[in-house]
Structure 1
Amino acid sequence: MRKLGWSLAAIAVIAIVGFFVAPWVYGNFIAEDDAPAASVSESGAEAASGELNGSWTVIAGTDPNRTAAGYTVEEILRGADVTVVGSTDQVTGTATIENDTLTAAEVTVRVDSVTTDSSQRDGQFRDRVMNTGTYPTATFVLTEPVDLTALPTDGTVTTLPATGTLTLRGQERPATLEVQVLRTGDVIVASGSIPTVWADYGVEPPNLGFVTVDSTGSIDFLITLERS
């Protein structure tokens, strides 16, 4: 009986140590930061060709280095910070340029297709966090014109301000951001991040005890547009 008691005590100690130590070991030595969100790159860029003014359409899917969108957020796992990046290539949109001015733009993202490196995290994101069954998409709509006269034509990147309305989980909020823009060949490439307080959109960051998620993060995008 004494040996049985010691055995049960040892098992209990091992279980308690495993409960507290395993997440710490994972957070500090196993978990890795996700790759950063894709952004505009001058690598392989060439001089612009064709007219700037006109109607443009987002090139959809198949290549996340051309068109993608998602989110970046910090997870805290037993005191260890892990950067999480979720993304999808299910992005559509249009833009109108008149007199070298971006007068209209709208981008729609299929939030229900955003994934990370963890299917368990993605399930929480789709169901409890974003309720994608009810709100499957997010949109950004430009609300103020953007002057494009300073946009280079030699295949180099410039940064331009943009103002619009971000709709996420059914909630609309004004959004301002800096957008990196590149004209290369016959396409326009743009990327940016919208700093986001999740509670502003009715989003409650998960708190699962040993894993918590920051109350702020960003909505990220990389889009490539071709003439319509």
Structure 2
Amino acid sequence: MKKWWLIGAAVVVVRAGVPAGPWIYGEFIAEDDAPAASVSTEGAQAASGSVDGQWIVGAEEGANRTAAGYTVSEILNGARATVVGATDQVAGTADVSGEKLSGAQVVVQVAAIATDNSRRDGQFRGNVMAADTFPTATFTLTTPVDLASLPTDGTATTVKADGTLTLEDQTRPVTVDVKVLHSGDKLVASGSVPVTWSDYGITPPSLGFVTVDDAGTVDFLVSLDRA
């Protein structure tokens, strides 16, 4: 994954009297990360039973295993790249009645979100997201979603969901396109919520050699079992 928020490394290098930009660019060549996970229909089965009921986020092997995190674009020494961070430390519930999703919530442990660089992750959890003070990010559904057209043959569909997103104790209304699959006795849903970080009081780093965009997405893929 691309190296984001390398403040710790930059400080060490500057204090040592070494130009930070060329060193970091030489160590961490800008390149795009793999995109955030999305619902996969590979190996999907026909739905067994009604979609109605109470559901809880669970574990799933393979492409549809639960994960959540962020995607953001940055410029490192003139090279633009996409950064993706993720965690499987995700909890949540969904209630479906009369083929309508009447309630849903997804809660992500911010401190568990990781890339492949511990320095970047340390700054993300500390200076940027203040995870010790604000340990979770939460999406909460605010408007029922009609699931009557959800396929039962192992294919997926996309529905629009209105809700709120809470980051660093700041809650804002959001709308997200959610891809949904009913496979066997499991529900799988994924989406990417567009976010402007400053709307939540979050300041993306701008350090000269690296500049992080003020817009990105909060991403989720949740596999749900019957509660």
TM-score (norm 1): 0.87
Counterpart in the other structure of 2:50 = 51
| 1:83 to 2:82 alignment | yes
- Report the structure number with the largest CA radius of gyration: 1
Counterpart in the other structure of 1:146 = 145
| 1:180 to 2:183 alignment | no
Distance 1:185 1:211 in 2: 46
Tell me if the contact between 1:67 and 1:89 (Cα under 8 Å) persists in the aligned partners.
Answer: yes
> Structure 2 counterpart of 1:214, which letter?
D
Distance 1:82 1:88 in 2: 20
TM-score (norm 2): 0.88
Gaps spanning 5+ residues in structure 2: where?
1-16
Aligned to 1:152, the other structure's residue is in SS state: coil
Distance 2:83 2:144 in 1: 33
The Cα shift of 1:62 comes to 7.6
Aligned to 2:182, the other structure's residue is in SS state: strand
Distance 2:125 2:167 in 1: 13
Tell me if the contact between 1:165 and 1:175 (Cα under 8 Å) persists in the aligned partners.
Answer: yes
The residue correspondences of 1:94-113 to structure 2 (distance < 5 A) are 94-113=93-112
> Structure 1 counterpart of 2:130, which letter?
N
> Structure 2 counterpart of 1:109, which letter?
V
Supply the RMSD in Å over aligned alpha carbons: 1.8
Aligned to 1:49, the other structure's residue is in SS state: coil
- The alignment-based identity, stated in percent, is 58
Distance 1:160 1:22 in 2: 46
> Structure 2 counterpart of 1:99, which letter?
G
The Cα shift of 1:63 comes to 6.6
Distance 1:104 1:63 in 2: 27
Q: 1:127 to 1:94 in 2, by over 3 A?
A: same
Distance 1:71 1:145 in 2: 25
Tell me if the contact between 1:59 and 1:67 (Cα under 8 Å) persists in the aligned partners.
Answer: yes
Gaps spanning 5+ residues in structure 1: where?
1-14
Q: 1:220 to 1:47 in 2, by over 3 A?
A: same
Tell me if the contact between 1:68 and 1:223 (Cα under 8 Å) persists in the aligned partners.
Answer: yes
How many residues align? The count is 211
Distance 1:69 1:160 in 2: 19
